[in-house]
Amino acid sequence: MKIDRILARLESGMGAVRLPPNVESLVLTLSQRTRAGGARHFWREHLRRLQYANPALRIEVNYPREPCAPTLDLRFAGSPAATTIALAGLRSDEICRRLLAKAAADTT
């Protein structure tokens, strides 16, 4: 069935992991006027899997009209500042790896 295939895609792959509970939110900023194929693919593929695997995680996508560099901000519980990952020139798998590494590094 079609729903089985959709669920199988959501439950498998690189983005289908549980993030540590101290990760409060993710904010993806991606301009409409810049080319960032890796960041756009991350948004379509990996971010949806992350959202499915972490239903309590707050995910926000900013899609401004003015040109800006694509970034991914991680907010951790008890930390006033966000950790920013610059996404320019990165492929979607590398973005996901860096996200998972930053999330795991903050738990220690």
DSSP string computed for 6-26: HHHHHHSSTT--PPPTTEEEE
pTM of the predicted protein model: 0.83
Sign of CA dihedral 6, 99, 24, 69: negative
Q: Indicate the pLDDT class of residue 107, thresholds 50, 70 and 90.
A: low
**pLDDT 10s digits, 14-34:** 777 888 888 999 999 998 777
Comparing C-alpha atoms, which of 83, 86, 54, 81 is closest to residue 70? 86
The whole-number average pLDDT for the span 32-54 is: 86
CATH 2.60.40.10 for the 22-105 domain, yes or no: no
Q: Extract the tokens encoding 30.
A: 């991606």
Of residues 108, 106, 105, 103, the one with CA closest to residue 17: 103
Q: What is the DSSP string of 75-92?
A: EETT-SSPEEEE-TT--H
What ranges do the domains of the chain cover? 22-105
